[in-house]
Copies of this chain bind each other. A is one copy, B any other.
Amino acid sequence: MNSKISQYLTKHQPSTPCLIVDLDIVDHNYQQLSQTLPFADIYYAIKANPALPILKRLVAMNAFFDAASWEEVQLCLDAGAPPSHISFGNTVKKVSAIQAASQANVEMYVFDSIEEMQKIAKHAPGAKVYCRLTVDNLGADWPLSGKFGTTTEHAIELLLEAQKSGLNPYGVSFHVGSQQTDPKAYSLAIEKAALVFRALAEQNIHLQMINLGGGFPIHYREDIPKLNEFETEIQKSLHHHFNNNFPRIILEPGRAIVGNAGVISTEVILSSKRGKENGPRWVYLDIGRFGGLAETEGEAIRYQITTEYDGSDTDPVILAGPSCDGVDVLYQKSNYQLPLQLSAGDRVALLSTGAYVSTYCSTSFNGFPPLEEHYI
Contact = CB atoms under 8 A, between A and B. Distances in A.
A320 interface: yes
B329 A146 contact: yes
Interface stretch (A29-37, A66-74, A189-197, A242-250): A66-74
A81 B352 CA distance: 42
Size band of the interface chain A makes with B: 35 or more
B114 A47 contact: no
B284 A92 contact: yes
Contact of A274 (B93, B113, B271): B113
A329 B69 CA distance: 17
A115 B344 contact: yes
B363 A154 contact: no
Contacts of A290: 294, 360
Contact of A367 (B50, B343, B370): B50
Contacts of A153: 275
Interface string A105-136: 00000001111100100000000000000000
Interface in A318-347: 320, 322-329, 332, 343-345
A124 B206 CA distance: 73
Nearest to A89: B324
B294 A297 contact: no
Contacts of A282: 147
Contacts of A112: 274
A165 interface: no
Interface in A256-281: 267, 269-275
Contacts of A269: 92-94
A287 interface: no
Contact of A363 (B94, B148, B345, B363): B363
A334 to B, nearest CB: 15
B68 A367 contact: yes
A103 interface: no
Most chain B beta carbons < 10 A, residue from A145, A286, A297, A367: A367
A364 interface: yes
B359 A151 contact: no
A204 B142 CA distance: 55
A366 interface: yes
A73 to B, nearest CB: 8
A270 B115 contact: yes
B146 A326 contact: yes
B294 A369 contact: no
Interface string A343-361: 1110000000000001111
A324 B367 contact: no
B344 A119 contact: yes
B320 A367 contact: no
Contacts of A270: 91-93, 113, 115-116, 119
Closest 7 CB pairs of A and B: A144-B326, A71-B367, A154-B275, A72-B367, A113-B272, A69-B367, A68-B366
7 contacts: A47-B323, A72-B366, A89-B324, A92-B269, A92-B270, A113-B272, A146-B326
Given A119-B344, A147-B328, 14 more contacts: A50-B364, A67-B367, A68-B324, A94-B322, A113-B274, A116-B270, A137-B326, A142-B327, A144-B326, A147-B282, A147-B320, A290-B360, A359-B365, A363-B370
